A and B are shown apart, each in its own frame.
Chain A
Amino acid sequence: MTRQQARLFAIVSSTVVTIAFLAMTVDTHRQIPRLTNEDKLTPQVLAGKHVWHKFNCTNCHTLLGEGAYYAPDLTKIAIQRGPEYIRAFMHDPSRFYDEQKVRRVMPKQNISDQEITDLIAFLDWIGHIDTQNWPPRRILVSGAAIPGTDTGQAAAAPASNEPVALGQALFNATPPGCSACHSISPGVNLVGPTLANMGTRAAQAIKDPNYHGSAKDVEGYIRESIVNPNAYVVPGPTFSADGHSIMPGNFAKDLKPEQIDHLVAYLASLK
């Protein structure tokens, strides 16, 4: 091979791949409006994008898995947590996470209520982008989903005094040992059914014609499931025997009323 041939190789190959790349780019432009729901790209979403940039969010968090790796991924956060939680969190993150316990907390931002509203709209739009099924399993900000992984002090101690945080700590503590049988990961059924998306699924369960319990709302349903596991038995191979739930029936007696409140608050927050 001579130098001229080598140069020809460099020029021709670069040209060919560049043309192929540009062709795919043109096609991508054609498809992106559909994949990203561009029709829902409202001025408020755009304002929220501006807020995202203004507060330098991407240098701690990832969005669509891109950014820095110091803080959780926020791709699906608006769907997972809902607007009320995010608003309260943005106003004062230290209410939800104690830096002494989790070693890291978001600094309080000098952010207006309107900016939070815009940001939530933006994050909600991001959450609905067709990401080719990424992430393959839900990324949780906090909480242990698998028994045996919650042995650390942090998981056992509540991150704050909010009912949700207290409920989460109780969920992972033994007793009552909820997490020994229930995961909070979607599709991960241990002895008992997964409690992922509990807040959403409870609302569906009470509308089910097979449901004969007395609960009228999500909280009521979860409370009933804890204190009276037989009110409604979720179908599944290991969940029940002879029509009776295998879940212990002692929680109404052994847990304090406020502990049950905390558990209900925590499980209802899983959406």
Chain B
Amino acid sequence: MKYRSQAVAYWYFAVAMGLFGLQIAFGLLAASKYLGPDPLINVVPFDIMKVVHTNLLIVWVLTGFMGGTYWIVPEESRTELYSVKLAYIQLGLWVVMGVTAIIGYFFRYTAGTKLLEQPLPHKIVIVVVMLMFLYNVAMTIRRSGRFTTTEGVLVGGLLLAALLYLPSIIPFDNYTLATFYRWWTIHLWVEGCWEMIQGSMLAYLLIRLTGADREVMEKWLYVIVGLVFISGVIGTAHHYYWLGVPHYWLPVGGFFSALEPAPLVAMAIYAYSAMRRSGLAHPNTLAIHWTVGSAVFTMFGAGLLGLAHTWPAVNKWTHGTLITPMHGHAAFFGAYAMIVLAMIAYSLPQFVSERSEPGRPSDYWAFWLQLAGMFGMTISFATAGIGQVYLERILGLGFLETQLKIQVHFLMLLGAGTIFATGVAIFIWNFFRHRPTFEMAAAVDEPGAPLRPVRTPA
């Protein structure tokens, strides 16, 4: 740690790890229900497992983003955080919101809108937490007067994310219109704001890990952000095709959605070329694994698998089938879970003195098991989905008969999910096995741009 207040990030990451573990446990339970009959049908039916699984994902990834930001901003702005206390109050409020929302779901206390099931009081708390967070970050930057492109993109992404959450609070009578605006939050989050966040975290990590030239990295970061918005904003249309909107969304959405892999391919090339060209090798090879892994898996999961069913003529048949979770699982894991895990892998040796920079062999097991497990889950959903599209949508076989015929893929899903869960369990165990020491770094290691720990009086 270069700045004492960066310790805040550890507790955000710790919360994120706990919620990540829960998310996977409920995910496995949800997957097992695909095999049926379900002995828990009257206790925790599938719908509750699913809403808990997806909401935990959103909450832990956002917790990770906030933790990552509290780690990056002091370093980029070369100052302590504006208010450590505010950061902890924010975390407390956030955890209370998250935990009560999850408990509420078990009693069907839900807004019932996909991915935005948080009831209104919880939505308001989310907005309050976001405001506290942005205020703290903005004041930190303002006080230091140093504002880098990397953190600019990061804060820009967070600011937009908070802003785009607001449409989800507005009630719409027309279901089509409500769904139209729901995608402003969900799609523009993942395909706009979160990609900005991922891009900036990637830039931060690549600069630290490879010693790549900041000027060059930040220039390409701008290009990536440009590509994200060119394709992503109008790309929202691929969620609109069949909702009851005007026809022009189909060709327009098809065209711009087809461009959506561009920024993701660019990000992968960005990471790869930074690795190739750098003369320096950072000792934290584990963080390098997660960083480059995130860029590559995003290209596969979000880019390639998204493209696989985004064209209207294809989506007409695949819409609403298991093809969607195929893409969803790989995309969320590669783009957002992995970048948070990369931030954790990078910063953890600086929180915990007993943890070596390159990590233990079990840390690499955690990486490869998660990757293999998620790849297997993706393939399971893909094969199940292709079977479903052919039998149910093209041949016209009933939904229930179709689901019986693709049972073997659900077995695969459960097997691959277990491999994935093992990797997650190892990662979480390694995170918590040693007490954090929060030792301050004596020397500064940013290559090319020596930093001095600057203490600005509060």
Contact = CB atoms under 8 A, between A and B. Distances in A.
B279 interface: no
A55 B241 contact: no
Contacts of A134: 241-242, 316, 319
A103 B403 contact: yes
Contacts of B110: 53, 56
B18 interface: no
Contacts of B249: 24, 28
A126 interface: yes
A152 B397 CA distance: 12
A69 B324 contact: yes
Interface in A25-54: 27-29, 31-32, 35-36, 38, 41, 46, 49, 52-54
Contacts of B400: 72, 97, 102, 104, 141-142, 154, 159
A85 interface: no
B397 to A, nearest CB: 5
A41 B33 CA distance: 36
Nearest to A12: B226
Given A35-B244, A142-B401, A150-B401, A66 B230 contact: no
Interface residues of A, number: 84
Given A1-B219, A24-B249, A60-B50, A53 B113 contact: yes
Contacts of A141: 398-400
Interface string B244-257: 11111110100010
Band of interface residues on B = 35 or more
Contacts of B241: 132, 134
Interface in A143-186: 143-146, 149-150, 152, 154-155, 159, 183-185
A237 interface: no
A9 to B, nearest CB: 5
Interface in B231-268: 233-234, 236, 239, 241-250, 252, 256
B179 A64 contact: yes
A66 B108 CA distance: 19
Of the listed residues B38, B112, B391, B396, the one surrounded by the most CB atoms of chain A closer than 10 A to its CB is: B396
Contacts of A129: 176, 243-244
B368 interface: no
Contacts of B399: 71-73, 139-142
Chain B binding surface SS class = helix
B180 interface: yes
A52 B407 CA distance: 28
A27 B321 CA distance: 30
Contacts of A59: 46-48, 50-51, 114, 117
A103 B256 CA distance: 40
Contacts of A132: 241-242, 247, 250
A69 B114 contact: no
A13 interface: yes
B223 A131 contact: no
B272 interface: no
B405 A131 contact: no
A211 interface: no
A145 B395 contact: yes
B108 to A, nearest CB: 6
Contacts of A108: 42
A188 interface: yes
A155 B246 contact: no
A105 interface: yes
Interface of B: 33-38, 41-42, 45-48, 50-51, 108, 110-114, 117, 149, 173-177, 179-180, 215, 218-220, 222-223, 225-226, 229-230, 233-234, 236, 239, 241-250, 252, 256, 316-317, 319-322, 324-325, 391-401, 403-405, 407
Given A3-B218, A142-B400, 6 more contacts: A46-B173, A63-B175, A66-B243, A68-B46, A99-B36, A132-B241
Q: 10 tightest A-B contacts by CB?
A: A53-B112, A65-B320, A103-B36, A145-B396, A59-B47, A134-B242, A185-B396, A6-B222, A10-B226, A14-B229
